[in-house]
């Protein structure tokens, strides 16, 4: 690592779903050996390992937890389901706090079965954020609302663009609710540059205290085709696809974001390889396509 | 058919890809027997049958050709490829004129191989429209630019939203270049209602002569999940999915569009059935979910 690569590389974080083949101890060890300073974790493997034990493991490896994925799924109409979702999100906030991360990624949820009411579902997301934000703030956790690609609007996430995510987040102080910028979900949108500028301008406009940007997390994956059935596991290694990753990084920088840059690639072809080799490739691609 | 269903039903048109199992003679016969007044055709089967013969066949069955799919694929950087694309589009315009339809549907094309320059590709689409519009107008054909779902942005269509399509179309008079509103591509977008209003307001604003709306074609399909590999052939029968079809029809009406309403569903499960049965189902679903 040369002096010129160090500043940005020190922000690189590996989301654990990129190397699903690794156990949590392998992840902590592998990332520490590669010189990384952070990892993004998922709730299911963390809970299976034990939240306190996972927190200790990662801390002892000298790594920060850059985000916890994920809470959300707020769109149920049934009051019982809704209360269950809110309870589960409070648990996710507690887990984030225990892991020492300030960032809980939220995927809003899709349309309830049989529903065609997108505006109604989006309003229930806003209601859930209002209910959860104080609880999160008390525990030092910021809610990070993630817009997902429009191909997930029906069954996974009714928040499809950065503009929509900002519309929702701006109902709250910037230090309570932010947005996730994931290149895989947003790259196609001709308004994303102006929306990134909007995300950076938020606090300047309101004069509020808190983080200098609405951007709570920045995640990288490339867009490759053809998409697989179900369209969940077809993300591309950095540089393999259509996304101008450097353009995004520069715009996110310009929006005042100074936090971790997570690489989150869901792809079975990466999971079938040696994790150390995958991570080395991620670092090399990051230096080539993002720096 | 009752008196109250007739006015809207008279606008129903069947796009031939919905019943790919039918030959052109079967399509003309089947649509005429079902009381339809229009069909949407595709270039490949029309050329295989013979353009003049296809025009005669459809006319003799008492049907109008409501659109021809499709021209486009304008994004090549190589000058030779670009000239070939323009020549092919002039042929498509000639075919549309020969079929007696005023509407040629255009799919812009994706990113050239290895390119990540979305703005550049979009500008080449505008350049191609400028080259083709006079040729089309002389032959009584209107170019109908179709925004495709963002999941096709890399490999098929860099125009992903109605706003983008209108941005491009509005560089030209409304009677030369319009847009296609297809529910499958646009349903997820929280700005589509305001963009449909914009499409209707165009001529009022400019005072130009010509059609009363930028909307050149209105196509219906529903959104169902999970998506199949390649995401091309997973469109849903009307009423089976997440799209509020009536909401769209009302907004398109309010935008001043009075033309055909085409049902265009690419789905092998429809192609494996009897075409007459599929068409009867389309009519019944149209009356239930669109009227």
- Say if CB B79 and CB B35 are below 8 A apart: no
User: What integer is the mean pLDDT of B56-82?
Assistant: 97
Residue A38 lies in a domain: yes
B156-196 pLDDT, tens digit per residue, is: 999 999 999 999 999 999 999 999 999 999 999 999 999 99
- Say if CB A96 and CB A104 are below 8 A apart: yes
| Residue B190 near chain A (CB below 8 Å) | yes
Distance from CA of A205 to the nearest CA of B (A): 24
In sequence order, the β-bridge partners of residue A156 are none
Residue B1 lies in a domain: no
A191 interaction partners in chain B (CB closer than 8 Å): 163
Residue A47 lies in a domain: yes
In sequence order, the β-bridge partners of residue A223 are A235
**In total, how many domains does chain A have?**
1
Q: Do B226 and A229 touch (CB under 8 A)?
A: yes
Which among B115, B231, B244 has the least Cβ separation from residue A227?
A: B231
Q: Which pLDDT does position A210 carry in this prediction?
A: 45
Q: A226 preceded by cis ω (within 30°)? A: yes
Is the complex ipTM more than 0.90?
A: yes
Task: Give the three-class secondary structure for A75.
Answer: coil
Q: Do A190 and B118 touch (CB under 8 A)?
A: yes
Residue A209's Cβ-count burial label (10 Å; 0-12, 13-18, 19+) is exposed
Distance from CA of A278 to the nearest CA of B (A): 23
Lookup: tokens for A19 = 């190397």
pLDDT at B130 over 90: yes
Residue A98 lies in a domain: yes
Residue B215 lies in a domain: yes
Residue A17 lies in a domain: yes
User: What integer is the mean pLDDT of A272-291?
Assistant: 97
Residue B154 lies in a domain: yes
Average pLDDT, chain A: 94
Distance from CA of B27 to the nearest CA of A (A): 31
Q: CATH number of the domain that B43 lies in?
A: 3.20.20.150
Domain of A54 in residue numbering reads as 6-289
Q: Which pLDDT does position B202 carry in this prediction?
A: 58
Cα–Cα distances (Å) from A217 to A11, A15, A92, A108, A288, in that order, read 11, 12, 17, 16, 21
Q: Do A190 and B122 touch (CB under 8 A)?
A: yes
B208-264 pLDDT, tens digit per residue, is: 444 568 999 999 999 999 999 999 999 999 999 999 999 999 999 999 999 999 999
Residue B51 lies in a domain: yes
Q: Closest by alpha carbon to B51, among B38, B66, B40, B41? A: B41
Which among B117, B161, B227 has the least Cβ separation from residue A231?
A: B227
């Amino acid at each position: 690592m040369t002096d010129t690569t160090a500043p940005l590389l020190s922000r690189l974080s590996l989301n654990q779903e990129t190397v699903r083949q690794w156990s949590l101890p392998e992840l902590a060890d592998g990332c520490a050996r590669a010189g990384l300073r952070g990892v993004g974790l998922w709730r299911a493997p963390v809970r299976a390992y034990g939240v306190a034990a996972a927190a200790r493991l990662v801390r002892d490896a000298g790594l920060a937890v850059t985000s916890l994925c994920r809470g959300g799924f707020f769109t149920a109409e049934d009051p019982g389901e809704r209360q269950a979702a809110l309870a589960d999100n409070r648990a996710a906030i507690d887990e984030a706090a225990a892991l020492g991360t300030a960032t809980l990624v939220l995927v809003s949820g899709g349309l309830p079965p049989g529903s065609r009411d997108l505006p109604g579902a989006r309003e229930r997301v806003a209601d859930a954020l209002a209910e959860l934000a104080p609880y999160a703030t008390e525990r030092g956790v910021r809610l990070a609302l993630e817009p997902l690609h429009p191909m997930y609007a029906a069954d996974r996430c009714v928040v499809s663009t950065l503009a929509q995510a900002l519309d929702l987040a701006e109902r709250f102080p910037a230090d309570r609710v932010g947005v996730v910028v994931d290149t895989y979900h947003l790259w196609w949108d001709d308004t994303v540059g102006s929306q990134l500028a909007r995300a950076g301008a938020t606090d300047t406009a309101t004069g509020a205290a808190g983080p200098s940007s609405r951007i709570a997390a920045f995640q990288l994956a490339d867009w490759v085709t053809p998409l697989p059935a179900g369209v969940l596991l077809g993300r591309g290694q950095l540089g393999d696809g259509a996304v101008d990753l450097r353009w995004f990084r520069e715009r996110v920088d310009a929006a005042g974001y100074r936090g971790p840059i997570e690489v989150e690639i869901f792809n079975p072809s990466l999971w079938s390889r040696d994790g150390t080799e995958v991570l080395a490739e991620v670092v090399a691609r990051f230096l080539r396509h993002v720096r």
